[in-house]
């Protein structure tokens, strides 16, 4: 199989590329390395994942290209069997200060990927969507407050389902641009008969995640703790997310690709059994590292959700998939990797 991974030098994309390279498939990574601009002056080795793939998997074809350039996509995508579209502007905060880049990267970029795939007669596309497509409607769900965390009211004890409303609410530009790509991918599947998997992801974390304050919070808390950098919590720290280790995520994508399902939308996260508040994560990191952590607190950010938990029933039933790695084990592996690769961040 010939696999094309947009954004393949990013955290998620590089793990997808690695998975299929290990299985012996031909893999092309297509990335404009714009993540480096975001990470510049924050992380030393901004090309870490690109160089990791180049060194560890020399058979992977690494191509510098931009999903906003249709000509590049048409040329480079030709001859492939499946596309994993992970390229995106990923930070909510950046989308509010630079909505044009967010739109062209996420909405226009996704349209270009879909159209290039259609014109190249590619049979299947996997799209990295986000739980942000549900927007501020999530904050209309009642929550209960505990000592270290918030929780959904009983009606949503299993989390937010795929049928949850995406309408009549605030989204932020990031949520809008990703939702546009989500809907376009669904429609291309229905209209042109392509196999399309849309994955509305919660918090994905794991090794090789170059987390910064406004994106990749699990990795950022680990990195900041190890390097004695200040940590700011926006809100009270009781906000809860279901977190999913990146290898469990890749497994879900692979199960869909190998399934007979023609097209589908799936919430993808740790589900109600694998959740964590910010305060709880800091306590786990403290226990595993022995380091003292004294976060600062600041105001809530726009459209931040007190609780987001994915209802993953559909993925369980349709894909026979189950997240296997516990938050404690996953965070431990992340700490071990970050500790061994401090030079990436210094």
Helix ranges, the chain (H): 11-22, 35-39, 48-56, 70-77, 92-97, 99-103, 109-119, 172-192, 217-226, 246-258, 278-289, 313-319, 327-340
* Residues 2-344, CATH architecture: 3-Layer(aba) Sandwich (3.40)
Q: What is the band of 302 on the pLDDT scale with cuts at 50, 70, 90?
A: confident
**Residues with a known catalytic role:** 174
Q: What is the pLDDT of residue 39?
A: 67
Q: What is the pLDDT of residue 346?
A: 77
Q: What is the pLDDT of residue 38?
A: 66
Q: How far apart are CA 255 and CA 257, in angstroms?
A: 5
| pLDDT 10s digits, 158-193 | 999 999 999 999 999 999 999 999 999 999 999 999
Are the C-beta atoms of 106 and 88 separated by less than 8 Å? yes
| pLDDT 10s digits, 72-93 | 999 999 999 999 999 999 888 8
Burial 2-31 (b: 16+ CB within 10 A, else e): bbbbbbbbbbbbbbbbbbbbeeebbbbbbb
Write down the domain spans for the chain.
2-344
Q: What is the band of 36 on the pLDDT scale with cuts at 50, 70, 90?
A: low
| pLDDT 10s digits, 251-297 | 999 999 999 999 999 999 999 999 999 999 999 999 999 999 999 99
pTM of the model: 0.96
CA 14 to chain centre: 12
Q: Which of 107, 30, 108 is nearest to 66 (CA)?
A: 30
């Amino acid at each position: 199989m010939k696999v094309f991974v947009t954004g393949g030098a990013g955290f998620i994309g590089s793990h997808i590329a690695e998975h299929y390279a290990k299985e012996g498939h031909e893999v092309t990574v297509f990335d404009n390395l714009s993540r480096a601009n975001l990470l510049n002056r924050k992380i030393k080795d901004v090309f870490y994942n690109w160089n990791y793939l180049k060194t560890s998997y020399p058979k992977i074809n690494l191509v510098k290209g931009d999903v906003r350039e249709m000509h590049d996509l048409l040329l480079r995508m030709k001859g492939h069997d499946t596309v994993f579209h992970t390229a995106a502007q990923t930070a909510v905060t950046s989308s509010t200060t630079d909505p044009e880049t967010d739109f062209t990267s996420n909405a226009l970029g996704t349209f270009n990927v879909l159209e290039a795939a259609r014109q190249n007669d590619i049979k299947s596309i996997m799209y990295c969507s986000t739980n942000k497509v549900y927007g501020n409607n999530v904050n209309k769900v009642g929550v209960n407050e505990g000592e270290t965390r918030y929780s959904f009211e009983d009606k949503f004890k299993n989390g937010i389902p795929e049928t949850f409303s995406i309408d009549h609410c605030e989204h932020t530009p990031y949520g809008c641009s990703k939702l546009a790509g989500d809907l376009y991918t669904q429609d291309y599947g229905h209209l042109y008969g392509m196999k399309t998997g849309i994955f509305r992801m919660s918090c994905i974390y794991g090794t090789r995640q170059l987390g910064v304050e406004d994106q990749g919070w699990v990795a950022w808390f680990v990195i900041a703790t190890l390097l004695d950098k200040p940590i700011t919590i926006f809100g009270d720290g009781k906000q809860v997310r279901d977190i999913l280790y990146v290898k469990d995520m890749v497994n879900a994508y692979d199960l869909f690709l190998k399934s007979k399902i023609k097209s589908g939308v799936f919430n993808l996260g740790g589900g109600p059994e694998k959740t964590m508040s910010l305060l709880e994560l800091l306590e786990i990191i403290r226990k595993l590292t022995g380091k003292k952590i004294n976060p600062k607190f600041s105001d809530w950010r726009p459209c931040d959700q007190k609780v987001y938990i994915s209802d993953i029933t559909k993925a369980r039933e349709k894909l026979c998939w189950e997240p296997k790695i516990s938050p404690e084990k996953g965070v431990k592996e992340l700490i071990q990797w970050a500790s061994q690769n401090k030079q990436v961040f210094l």
